[in-house]
Each structure stands twice: as C-alpha cells, then as structure tokens.
Amino acid sequence: MRPTPYVASLRIYEPLTAFSPAEALRWESIPITSSTGRDEQNRALRRTIITEPPALKPDGAHILEWEDKRYICPWSTAARVWAALDDFKSSVPLPVSKFFVPENIEEAININSEIIEDKVPHIITETWTVPPRWFSLFQPEDRLRGQSEDGPFTYMRTSITNAKNRCIFTHESVVSAFGNGPIEEEIADLLEWMTLFHPESIVEVDYGGLAGYLEQILISDGESGLEADTSIEDIQLSLSGLSTGDGAKAGVGYERLISRWRKVSAFEAAT
C-alpha cells in the first residue's frame, strides 16, 4: 500500500536539456527502476513528525523514459512547502495562522525562502479527488492502467503541447458558456503554469492510491473495476456540450464525472 494513498498528482517532466549540466548529471545517475514515488511519499510522512528545513535537504525527482529519452520531474519539495504555507496564511486571518503553524516550524519552512520563491514546482497535488480540469488535458488513448505491487494504478500522459492546446479549448468552452469566474480562473492558472516549462515536456496525472478507492467503488456498482472508469470521456462529453451550446449534453458528462469522484472523496470521512 502507498504511504499516502489519498493523494493524486499532476506532474511536469522536462527533458534533461532543460536542466543545468550539474543537475542533468545528477538526474542521469538515478536508476530508472528507483521507487521515487514511494521515496517522495515517505519523506512527506516523515515531515509530519519531524520538522526538516526543506530548502536545505537534497531533493529527489521522478524519472520517466519516453520514446527513448529521459525526462525529469523534480519533487520541488522546498518550493511546494513554501507555497503551501503562503497559501494557507493568505486564507486565514494572520492572528489565527500561528495557532496552526507554530513559529519554529514556520521559521524552518522559510529558511532560504528568497532562493526558492521564484522556483516553479513541477508537481501539483490534490487529496481525495482528481479535479475535472486535469482530465481535460488528455484523450482516452493517453491513459495507462493496471496493477502493481502497490495495487491498482492509473496514469495519463501526453506532450505538453497537446495538454496546452486542450487546456485552451477547455478555457474557451467554459468562458463561452459561463463567462469569467472561479472555474475559468482555475483553468487559466493551469494553462499559465504549463507555459513555464520546456516545450518538449511531458504532462502526467497519477491517480496514486485513489485508483484503489475508485476500483472498489466501480466494482461495488457492478462494474469491471478501473477499466470502467470513463473520466476522460465524461469530461470530453461535457466540453463538447459546452462548445456547441448543448447544456443537457454538458450536464450529463459532468454529473457522471462528479458523482463518481464524489464517492471517492467520501472515503475521507470514513478514514
């Protein structure tokens, strides 16, 4: 079982040429068979118990071989931790935040923050769900699913060019149907994030441990497990309806998608 079975990840893998010679040499030395996913999750769990200044720790990376080329997705731990702290502090009144994040922990996180402030994390995570906008970046043929020693898995991978073009179509469809607003802004932010990476990068969504929860749900509903997951097809149906002004069609796809992942999210309350 995965150390953090409730996390789904959106990752950007850049080619080795996107990194400095020193970084590229380091990433080349990591065996493709390394369990980088488990290593990243174990370190995340360790940090919930022991405060470690992430900016001062050697970071790892996920490695992907794609069409005989090596691509790298650095964990960007320091940047992600620092950004998460910043987002949390901006979401609550300043006097309140200190009760959730003790001063010594905040100081540890902020060590060398001026160095990491401008770094862009290669990974975005969500707990207990996969956001609909992530599915919009892929086609059904981009999906890979099966079983591993950690249980069921689902990955979706495509070129960043494909992902950006599909994100633009999604944004235009949503704006055409609903105008500007929170949903449109989230899609725009996703597109802006992707534009910051090398044009030959690979975009990946990993269900993580949520694949196991989803399989349980589908089997309990009389389906064949993960093979019955039509999340990509559902978002495509919804976007097709939005782009043609067919609200009923859009609603069918979106409701089917949301109802499926709402059942996965319900596991959070049960744990």
* pLDDT at residue 49, as a whole number: 46
> What HEC string does the chain produce?
CCCCCCEEEEEEEEEHHHCCHHHHHHHHCCCCCCCHHHHHHHHHHHHCCCCCCHHHCCCCEEEEEECCEEEEEECCHHHHHHHHHHHHHHHCCHHHHHHHCCHHHHHHHCCCHHHHCCCCCCEEEEECCCCHHHHCCCCHHHEEEEEECCEEEEEEEEEHHHHHHHHHHHHHHHHHHHCCCHHHHHHHHHHHHHCCCCCCCEEEEECCCHHHHHHHHHHHCCCCCHHHCCHHHHHHHHHHHHHHCCHHHHHHHHHHHHHHHHHHHCHHHHC
Is the pLDDT at 117 greater than 50? The verdict is no
Reading the block at residue 206, the tokens are 């990993």
Among 61-65, 113-117, 124-128, 247-251, where is mean pLDDT lowest?
A: 113-117
| Structure confidence by residue, pLDDT tens digits, 242-266 | 999 999 999 999 999 999 999 999 9
Q: At residue 174, does pLDDT exceed 90?
A: yes
Q: Which of 32-36, 172-176, 183-187, 246-250 has the lowest mean pLDDT?
A: 32-36
Is residue 89 very low, low, confident or very high in pLDDT (cuts 50, 70, 90)?
low
Residue 146: name the closest of 39, 226, 57 by CA. 226
Judge whether residue 226 has pLDDT over 80. Answer: yes
More confidently predicted of 11 and 116: 11
* pLDDT value of residue 102: 58
pLDDT at 144: 97
Would you state the pLDDT for residue 3? 59
Where do the structural domains in the chain lie, given as residue ranges?
13-126, 128-271
- pLDDT of res. 39: 60
Cα separation of 271 and 269, whole Å?
6
Chain segment 130-168, per-residue pLDDT in tens: 999 999 999 999 999 999 888 999 999 999 999 999 999
Mean pLDDT, range 227-246, rounded to an integer: 97
Tens of pLDDT along 29-88?
887 776 555 565 555 545 544 455 544 455 788 999 888 899 999 887 655 454 555 555
